[in-house]
Each structure stands twice: as C-alpha cells, then as structure tokens.
Amino acid sequence: SNGITRPKGHTVSFHYNSGVEDMHFGKTHPMKPWRLTLTKHLVLGYGLQYAMDTYVAMPASKDQVRAFHDPDYVDFLKEVSPQTFRYQRFIPPKHEGDTVDLGPFNLSTSPGADCPVFDGMSEYLFLYTGATLAATNQLLTGQSDIAINWSGGLHHAHKSEASGFCYINDIVLAILDLLHLFPRVLYIDIDVHHGDGVEEAFQRQPRVMTLSYHRYGPYDETGHKFFPGTGDLADTGLKGTIGEHFALNVPIPSGIDDRQYKYLFESITARAIDAYKPKAIVLQCGADSLGGDRLGQFNINIKQHGECVSFVKKQGLPLLILGGGGYTARNVARAWCHETALATDNGANLPDRIPLDLVPRPQAFTGRAHGDGMLFPKFQRDHKNDCVEADLEYMVKRLEW
C-alpha cells in the first residue's frame, strides 16, 4: 500500500524509547534530543516500521554500565540532578554572581558546558544505553542481522569521565558484549568528530579494530584544534601492546565533498575489512558529517552518507547501526530515516514528498528550547573546500599495510 516491504533474506530491528526525546541539555547547547523525535516521526511517517521489528527499549542497569565505566561514576550518573549537583563540589566564586561549579567527572551546571547536568539526564543516559544493549542482544541471539539505535553512538565518553556531550559510552558496552560471541569486531565511525572514547577503550585490544573518519587539524587562525583534537594518521593503537596497529584514523580537512569522501571511505574500509576479516561490525553514523551541520565542517550530502551505510551493509556481517552527533536537526532526521530505509532495502521506495501530515508540525513545538524552527527547508552552507586530491591519495597510501 505505502510501497514499504520487509527485506528478503535479513531481519532488521529498531530499538528506541521515546523517553529520550523530552530532554534539554540547555538553551544554547547544540545537542537537541528533539532531533530524535523528528527522526522517529519521519520513519513512522514513511511506514518503515512495517519493514522491521520495533522494540521499546528498557533502561540499562547499573551493572550493565559498570562493564566499562567506573562504579563511582555510574553511581554518580544514576543519582545526580541539577538540584543535588551544586553541592557536590562548589568552588566559591571570585566575583558576585559567578557560578563556578565544574564538578567531578567533567560535569557542570554552568551555561555553555559541553556536559551539563540537566533535568532528566539520568533517565536519558540509561535509556539510550539500554537501547544500544537491546540492539546488541538481537545480534548476539541471531534474532536480527541489522539492529538500529539512533539515540546511541556517544563515542567520546571515557571510563570515569564525560566528554563532548557523551556521558555513557554505549558503543564500548556494545562491543564488549559482542566480544562474548564474535572473535573480531570492526568499529567504523563516520561522525565528523574523532571516536576517541572507543579507540581509547580498545587501544590494547587486537580483537577490536577501530576506524574513524573525522575533521582534524587547526580550524582557525589562533590554531584551535577541531574537537577533540586527537585522531592523527600516525595514531594506530597503543605502541608496545598487542593492540598496536588495530586502530585506524583518517584525518580529513574541512569541506570534503561526496566524491572525495566516497573514495576515501570505500577504499580504506574495504582494505580494513579485507585484512581484518571482522565477524561483526558496529557503525556509528554521526550526521554532523553532513554539509550544513551546525558544528561540522564537511560538505557531504545525505546520499553519500547513506552510501557509507549501504557499503557496510553489503559486507553481509551482523551489523549494529548507531547514531551520534548531528546538529542541524532536520538534516539529521532526513539522513537517519533514509538510512533506516537503506537498511531495510527500501531505499528506492520512499516517495520524494515527505508525508507532511504525519510529521509533527512546527507550531506544535513552539515555546520549546529545541531551537530548530521550520522542518526540512532546503539548506546548504558551503564550507571552503581545502581538501586537495594529493592529501586524499596520501592518506590512502599511508593506510596501506
């Protein structure tokens, strides 16, 4: 009827809990969980739920999160609220009116902080993690061949520290679970930022290969590094350990376009799979690598972003698909809906016209702090393209081993 069909030969599952949607990191904070509302409505609006098994995720347990994170940090994340936080470690302000409350574990309630403590934060964290672990379990039991959680993919979180909008590293937890069954797991990260938390967690581990594509290098005249500032081509795992050579980094200048990204992604990913022969793949699909992203500096279109997903899917291995960054909400929703369609072999079945009657109308959201106004107007912002062909060729060459 709507043209959406179930894929033949593989099962896709979709893991989500709408409880993640109502959270607000803060008025000026770029991370808007509301983008997940948009994604959900677009996926449902197109009828993609008929092409896959959909599950409402339960929150992760503290024990599950302790598989990677420090027990004290887990307790803290479970208990903390804006009301209780201030008293954890309050530094007296130098000037009247100042608030100085950079607390333990790199959390803060100060405006402008990367990792604020906000109302409902604890619920949000354990829900996105629960969805990733449920998706992982589907792959472990063989009930799904592809499992999707767009609310996951928070790749910067460390063992006992939040970083870059990430508090619980659901990716590391997922990979640890996959290692119970699969001898080698490949992690691929197309978020515009370096997947530092995942790389660090497995830097001594040859059973996990991490491969991140990211913006790298100075981004202004003052020499400020693009966040998080790591992920150099020369960083390939912890030297002197058996994990050395099992981390790959593809640093990319701003402005990379579809053709250039395709060349890099396909040649390097194919070579990595060929050499490593993974038995399962985790793909972090951060949508901040799209052109026009509020934080990103790449110039790739949804079509090419999706082709990365198709390329990985084509390998025919158990596949965990996660979200990540993405700060121009309408583009995030368009990309992740498109990629849900690709995962279920419905890439060609989405009509060009968005079923607007099924998408929440902007006026229904007025007065909320999500920031994004109109839905899906044409949007393009060109970044200066300083990615020269020679650089691309050099990176591919350097990564050949």
Contact footprint for ligand V1P (CB under 6 A): 28-30, 112, 114, 154-156, 164-166, 191, 193, 227, 286, 288, 295, 324-325
Spatial CA neighbour of 340 closest among 365, 379, 313, 367: 313
What is the smallest separation between the CB atom of 349 and ligand V1P, expressed in angstroms?
A: 30
**Helices 121-140, 170-178: crossing angle, 10 deg rounding:** 20
Pairing type for strands 12-16 and 146-149 reads: parallel
Query: Positive or negative, the Cα torsion across 183, 316, 194, 198?
Result: negative
Interacting residues of 138 by C-beta distance below 8 A, sequence separation 6+:
13, 15, 55, 144, 147
Residue nearer to ligand V1P on the CB measure, 20 or 341: 20
Q: Are 10 and 53 in contact (CB under 8 A)?
A: no
Q: Verify binding: residue 269, Ca ion, rule CB under 5 A.
A: no
Q: Is 339 in the site for Ca ion (CB under 5 A)?
A: no
Helix, strand or coil for residue 145? coil
Of residues 29, 194, 214, 383, which has the active-site annotation?
Answer: 194
CA distance 154 to 20: 14
| Residue 26 beta carbon to Zn ion: minimum distance, rounded to whole angstroms | 18
CB of 28 to ligand V1P, least distance (A): 5
Pick out residues in 191-230 that bind Ca ion (CB under 5 A).
191, 212, 214
Nearer to ligand V1P, 76 or 128 (CB): 128
CA 313 to CA 341: how far, in whole Å? 12
Which residue type occupies 117?
V
194 is catalytic: yes
Nearer to ligand V1P, 191 or 307 (CB): 191
Among ligand V1P, Ca ion, Zn ion, none, the one that 212 touches (CB under a kind-dependent 5 to 8 A) is: Ca ion
The binding site for Zn ion (CB under 5 A) comprises 191, 193, 286, 288, 325
- Binds 97: which of Zn ion, Ca ion, ligand V1P, none (CB < 5-8 Å by kind): none
Q: Which of 156, 138, 144 is closest to 284 using CA atoms?
A: 156
Q: Which of 306, 225, 317 is nearest to 280 (CA)?
A: 317
CB-based closest residue to Zn ion = 325
> Binding to Ca ion (CB under 5 A): which residues in 143-202?
189, 191
In the bound complex, which residue of the shown chain has the CB atom lying closest to ligand V1P? 325
Residue whose CB is less far from ligand V1P, 278 or 325: 325
DSSP secondary structure of 88-116: TSPPPPSSTT------GGG-B-STT-SSB
Q: Which is nearer to Zn ion, 41 or 194 (CB)?
A: 194
Nearer to ligand V1P, 113 or 146 (CB): 113
CB of 215 to ligand V1P, least distance (A): 10
Q: How far is the CB of 192 from Zn ion (least distance, A)?
A: 5
In the numeric block, the tokens 């985790």 are attached to 282
Q: Which does 164 bind (CB under 5 to 8 A by kind): ligand V1P, Zn ion, Ca ion, none?
A: ligand V1P
Residue 163, both tokens:
């970083």
Give least dist CB 296 to ligand V1P, A. Answer: 8
214 binds, among ligand V1P, Zn ion, Ca ion, none (CB under 5 to 8 A by kind): Ca ion
Choose among Ca ion, Zn ion, ligand V1P, none what residue 319 binds, the Cβ cut-off being 5 to 8 Å by kind: none
Region of residue 192 (phi > 0: left; psi between -120 and 50: alpha; otherwise: beta): alpha
Assess contact for 7 and 144: CB atoms under 8 A: no
Query: By the criterion CB under 5 A, which residues form the site for Ca ion?
Result: 189, 191, 212, 214
The residues annotated with a catalytic role in the active site are 194
